[in-house]
């Protein structure tokens, strides 16, 4: 089973979670826009995000600023993109 777990233990069914050009993309299954916004808009919750894929786990720290949320109704999926805030020394002006 694939899942995405936030720093506070909140879990989502997730098809994928990974970095692309400094942006952390989280693909949430069976989740509404409002559920995703409530969870991912809290910097304490997103301070650490773990993606579990079978026995493998990928951990991402510091990606606390939402830059986009998209909803794919046909697939019942919400996609969340996060970056590290500029105050952490990462340029997000890409």
Cβ-proximal residues to 63 (8 Å cutoff; 6+ apart), any chain: 24, 46, 49, 82, 83, 84
pLDDT tens digits for range 23-54: 999 999 999 999 999 999 999 999 999 999 98
- pLDDT at residue 89, as a whole number: 52
Share of the chain above pLDDT 90, in %: 80
pTM of the model: 0.86
φ, ψ at 34 (rounded to 5°): -65, -40
91 backbone dihedrals φ, ψ, rounded to 5°: -80, 120
């Amino acid at each position: 089973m694939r899942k995405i777990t936030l720093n506070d233990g909140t879990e989502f069914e997730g098809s994928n979670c990974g970095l692309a050009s400094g942006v952390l993309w989280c693909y949430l299954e069976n989740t509404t826009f409002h559920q995703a916004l409530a969870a991912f808009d809290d910097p304490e919750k997103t301070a650490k995000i773990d993606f579990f894929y079978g026995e493998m786990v990928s951990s991402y720290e510091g990606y606390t600023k939402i830059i986009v949320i998209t909803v794919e109704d046909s697939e019942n999926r919400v996609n969340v993109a996060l970056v590290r805030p500029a105050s952490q020394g990462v340029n997000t002006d890409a």
